[in-house]
């Protein structure tokens, strides 16, 4: 029987439609949670068995093999513990998403940053209008669950006064590694390598989730200056960063044929589409006493998209001393050294995805201001 429709001119959805949505989301939540549990458990134990066999064949000491297996078991338990909270959060977001969602609790009365439309900055003598647009790009991402304490340590003392890593369960928090190939954008044409944590703002009654960027590496100065002027983001410039396409994968990182260098290889797959999906980021702008916390919203659309649990993402980490890392100007933390601290070098991600053709709109910064 078809659902009962709302009266003409009414903006309120029918009650039967709401019930159908609740049932659909609940069913999908249960199936997704079970599927993720089985996939992660099978993947981790298969990986540990393979590592145990390879270690025995290469005469690795038994105590080292046992230590590695125990470490893998703990990581597996950590990932399994996050399934229910992360799947439940996704289901809740589906139920609560509204086209007219109000963001007023986060918008201050004054000094809220540039106007959403029409604001123009001067960057390197060139106009830079808001909102900023990406007309053509490709993006790969991989999500790892890492220790909350290690994540909070990576935030730094100044940022920890304002933000805290989001605990998704079992003392684990999502760490994202993202590679973007910008082919046509207001920022320029260049590849980008991003490391981000999921955080909440201390004292925020809504516990809104934001992305906080630990590192953003690019190849040109213009996008670095634009991001700093508009959002207060600290991008690093490294001409060594490159993107290389193959038929079934894409590599972002430092090209090197002699040994391990910082790189991540994303599988290239999917035929799904998405439209105007919002994400929220947080950053700090200003200096000294005028330094304040701002948030911004980005909406992205894409085609040729795919998402999977624990896909064949290959992450390699070089060392800063051998020139096979992204260390930029020497003032920022080398990306590979940062990632070594999270102990993810020999692990597959909890989830990963790819977007073949992507467009995006980057909104202006707004002062974070909510009732305390």
List the domain range (segments joined by +) for residue 52.
15-96
CA–CA dist 362, 163 (Å, integer): 22
Indicate whether 111 and 88 sit together in one domain: no
The answer to whether 194 touches 281, Cβ cutoff 8 Å, is: no
Per-residue pLDDT of the chain (372 residues; tens, 9 = 90+): 333 333 344 343 444 444 444 444 444 444 444 455 555 555 555 555 555 555 555 555 555 544 554 455 455 545 544 444 444 444 444 443 434 444 555 544 444 444 444 577 788 888 888 899 999 999 999 999 999 999 999 998 989 999 999 998 889 999 999 999 999 999 999 999 999 999 999 988 888 899 999 999 999 999 999 999 989 999 988 888 999 999 999 999 987 766 577 899 999 999 999 999 999 999 998 777 788 899 999 999 999 999 998 889 999 887 666 566 776 555 556 888 889 899 998 788 988 999 999 999 999 988 887 554
Residues 22 and 126 in one domain: no
Q: Which token pair is 272?
A: 């799904």
Q: Mark whether 86 and 169 lie in a shared domain.
A: no
Same domain for 221 and 76: no
Of 362, 368, 249, 244, residue with least CA distance to 314: 249
One domain, residues 285 and 359? yes
Torsion angle of C-alpha atoms 185, 187, 190, 194, degrees rounded to 10: -110
Does residue 358 fall inside a structural domain?
Answer: yes
pTM of the model: 0.72
CATH of residue 269's domain is: 2.40.400.10
Please report whether residue 182 resides in a domain: yes
Report yes or no on 1 lying in a domain. no
Q: Are residues 86 and 110 in the same domain?
A: no
Mark whether 113 and 85 lie in a shared domain. no
Residues 39 and 134 in one domain: no
Max Cα separation, the chain? 75
Structural contact between residues 57 and 70, judged by C-beta atoms closer than 8 angstroms: no
In a domain, 193, yes or no: yes
Which of 96, 122, 151 corresponds to the end of one domain? 96
Residues 150 and 56 in one domain: no
Q: Do residues 109 and 91 share a domain?
A: no
């Amino acid at each position: 029987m078809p659902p009962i429709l709302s009266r003409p001119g009414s903006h309120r959805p029918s009650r039967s439609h709401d019930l159908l949505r609740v049932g659909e989301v609940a069913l999908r939540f249960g199936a997704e949670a079970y599927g993720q549990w089985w996939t992660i458990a099978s993947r981790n134990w298969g990986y540990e068995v393979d590592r145990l066999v390879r270690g025995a064949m290469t005469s690795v000491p038994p105590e080292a093999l046992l230590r590695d297996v125990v470490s893998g078991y703990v990581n597996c338990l950590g990932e399994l513990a996050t399934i229910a909270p992360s799947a439940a959060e996704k289901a809740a977001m589906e139920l609560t998403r509204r086209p007219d969602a109000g963001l007023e609790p986060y918008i201050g009365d004054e000094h809220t940053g540039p106007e959403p439309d029409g604001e123009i900055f001067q960057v390197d003598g060139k106009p830079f209008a808001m909102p900023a647009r990406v007309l053509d790009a490709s993006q790969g991402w991989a999500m790892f669950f890492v220790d909350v304490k290690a994540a909070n340590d990576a935030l730094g003392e100044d940022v920890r006064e304002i933000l805290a890593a989001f605990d998704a369960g079992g003392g684990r928090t999502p760490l994202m590694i993202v590679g973007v190939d910008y082919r046509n954008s207001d920022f320029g044409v260049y590849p980008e390598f991003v490391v981000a944590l999921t955080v909440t703002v201390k004292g925020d009654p809504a516990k809104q989730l934001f992305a906080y960027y630990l590192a953003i590496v690019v190849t040109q100065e213009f996008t670095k200056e634009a991001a700093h002027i508009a959002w207060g983001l600290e991008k690093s410039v490294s001409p060594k960063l490159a993107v290389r396409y193959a038929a079934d994968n894409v590599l972002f990182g430092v090209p090197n044929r002699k040994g391990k260098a910082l790189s991540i290889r994303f599988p290239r797959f999917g035929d799904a589409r998405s439209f105007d999906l919002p994400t929220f980021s947080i950053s700090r702008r200003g200096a000294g006493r005028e330094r304040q916390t701002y948030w911004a919203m980005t909406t992205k659309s894409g085609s040729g998209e795919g998402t999977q649990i624990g896909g064949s993402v290959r992450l390699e980490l070089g060392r800063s001393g051998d020139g096979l890392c992204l260390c930029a100007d020497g003032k920022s933390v080398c990306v590979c050294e940062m990632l070594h601290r999270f102990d993810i070098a020999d692990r597959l991600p909890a989830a990963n995805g790819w977007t073949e053709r992507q467009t995006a709109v980057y909104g202006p910064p707004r002062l974070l201001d909510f009732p305390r």
